[in-house]
Each structure stands twice: as C-alpha cells, then as structure tokens.
Amino acid sequence: MFNELALQIEKHLAEGDDFAIAQVVDRIAPSSGKVGDKAIILETGELIGWIGGGCVRGIVIKEALEVIKTKRYRRVRISPEGGSKETPTYKEYVMSCQSKGTVEIMIEPVIPQPELIVVGKSNIARKLVQLASAADFRVTVMASDADVQMFPSAQRLEDHVDFSTIKKFTNTYIIVTTQGEDDELSVKKALETNAKYVGFVASAKKSDDIKTYLTSAGIPEERINQLRSPVGIDINAKLASEVAISILADVIADFRKANTGYGSRCESEEMETAQEPVNEQFAEDYYINPVCGVPVSKKNPKHVIEYKDEKVYFCCDGCKVSFEKNPEQYMNR
C-alpha cells in the first residue's frame, strides 16, 4: 500500500495537481484506522489509501477539500463525545459509527511547484529556463526551432505557440520573451488563456505598443491590464541572466503570496476561508449525509434509503438509525 501511495503522490505532483495527505496520528480502539495509516485526497474528493471507513472517511474528505482550498493544515479528532473546539487548524467531530472508537488525523496540503511556460528562444528565455529548472519548476518552452540542445533542462518543448495542450492554468505562469519574433500574436495567445500571470519581456514603449495592438485585436481591457510588462522585479538588471533572475523572483513572490499557508504550522491562524464553488465532479459523486453533514460516496455508501422519491446516502449504521427515527428533522433543516 505504501509503494502504491508513493506512486500516486509522485504522479499527481508530476501532473501539477493540488491534493492533501491525511495520516492517522492517534487512535483509541476500536477503530478501523490505525496509527500510520495514510491516504491522499484529490480536489475531486477521491480518496486513495486508507484512514478508516464510515463517517471517518467522509469527514476526512470534507476537511481535506477545505485544506486544499485554504492551503493550511488541519488536525481532526473524531470521538464518541465529540466536542465544540474549533480553530482554523483543529476541529472536533462526533463519531457516529457504532464502533465508537476515536481517531485523530492530520491533514496537510500538498502544492506542487508551479509550471512555467516560456515563449521564445531569446537569451533571456534560455537563462530563465535554466534558473526555473534549478528551482524545481515544471518548465515548458514554446518556440520555433527550439531543441534540447538549446533548452537541455526544459521538461517539454513545443515548436510553436499552442496552449490548447495545457490541461489547466491554476498553477501556471507564462512569460513571453520573444523579443521581436511574433511578439503580438504570442502575447495575444497567452492572454486568451485563463492563466492569472502573463508576463511580457519588453521596454515600456514596446509594452505600450503591444497593449494598443491587443485592444485592436479585441482583447478585453480588463485582461490587458493584467499583463505584466515590463515584467520582473526592478533590480536595475542589465545582463540576460539578471533579467531572468528578476522575472523568476517576481514569479516566486507571486506564487508564495497566493500560497501563504503552504507547509506552515506556526503562522497566524487568522486566515479567511475563500468561498469557491463546489467541484462539479465532487457534487456528482458525493452526497452530503443529512445527519452528520459529511460527504458519502454514492458509489460505495454504507446504506441507501428512499425518502420522498429521493435517495439518501449514509456513511454508517448510526446515521441511518438516527435518520429513520425522525427523517423530517434532518431533511427540512
């Protein structure tokens, strides 16, 4: 199981997926989850591994999705007596399963290094790819005639500018450093993606000219205003390597600002939870148990009953029994 889980972690890191790792850190018998049991939870709500069944599984999925969203770790205690203690990094639940054991689970976010897409084959592009690869970025180069000798450290090479092969842009940075070779079209294509960070290496005058072109090409003004050009931190850079350093420093600063909770257990706990729509795949595959409020996989529920022409899914015997005693109490709240 450990080797299989390690392979899954490696796979999702390589694909640039955000996910969470959950591990049982304490236990009072009886409980199916043992100390050291571990699982990963994807943004879709899929759980791979084992940390316990029944309500424990549902609670962990629910909390892991919040951990992925806020990028802050969380320790969860599930016990028969429950509790009301709750902080941004700790939460207590009642163990509704009839086994009545207790488990504590640590859930931590895993945020892959960003993907950097470098458009162009200029000297600055080469230096930037070299530096970004050394900083463990996943690097893609898009440029005509680009080859492995030119960019030996890039993970992927494309001989033309085409963003249609990129699966998602939530953790992707695009730097256009074409320097006179199809500048306008390259920047236009980059802005037509939903990447939050698009930078263009140019002087202030060239940047103004590009923005005029983008307006005439029908790119919305709001999107044009998001273009970072000139790009990079002002360090009075002169050499290509210095310009590349200034760009990468700005990218790293932006990435870390957006992921301030990553890997930190000692930062301030005053962090607002971002309100984001529920993942569509998650909503399709999971049902919120009306008794305990945790997600239940529709593919593998403990119980399913019909109530007023609606299928109601339960994670454990305890929730089903409580529901059957007074269904109106749970379905009408």
In one-letter notation, the amino acid at residue 176 is V
Place of tokens 């070779």: 181
Model pLDDT for residues 8-27, shown as the tens digit of each residue: 998 888 787 889 999 999 99
Residues in the chain, how many? 333
Query: What are the pLDDT digits (tens) for 147-195?
Result: 899 999 999 999 999 999 887 888 899 999 998 888 999 999 999 999 9
Q: What are 12's two structure tokens? A: 């999702």
From 3.40.50.1980, 3.40.50.300, 3.40.50.720, 3.90.1300.10, which CATH number describes the 115-258 domain? 3.40.50.720
Burial class (CB in 10 A: 0-12, 13-18, 19+), 22: buried
The whole-angstrom separation of Cα 14 and Cα 74 is 24
Predicted confidence band of residue 270 (pLDDT cuts 50, 70, 90): very low
Which run of H or E residues covers position 221?
helix 221-224
Q: Pick from 42-46, 233-237, 315-319 the range whose average pLDDT is largest.
A: 233-237
Which amino acid does the sequence have at 60?
A: V
| % of residues, the chain, pLDDT over 90 | 51
- Answer yes or no: is pLDDT of 91 > 70: yes
Strands 102-110 and 115-119 come out as unpaired
Residue 117, pLDDT above cutoff 50 = yes
What are the phi and psi torsion angles at 77 (to 5°)?
A: -115, 125
**How do residues 235-253 score in pLDDT, each as one tens digit?**
999 999 999 999 999 999 9
Tell the burial category of 103 from Cβ atoms under 10 Å away from its Cβ (0-12, 13-18, 19+): buried
Q: What pTM was computed for the model?
A: 0.67
Query: Is residue 130's pLDDT more than 50?
Result: yes
Q: Which residue blocks in 25-122 are alpha helix, DSSP H? A: 54-70
Average pLDDT, the chain: 86
Paired with 199 in beta bridges are: 175, 228
263, HSE (Cβ side, Cα atoms, 13 Å): 6
In the chain, residues under CATH classification 3.40.50.720 are 115-258
In whole angstroms, give the CA distance from residue 8 to residue 2.
10
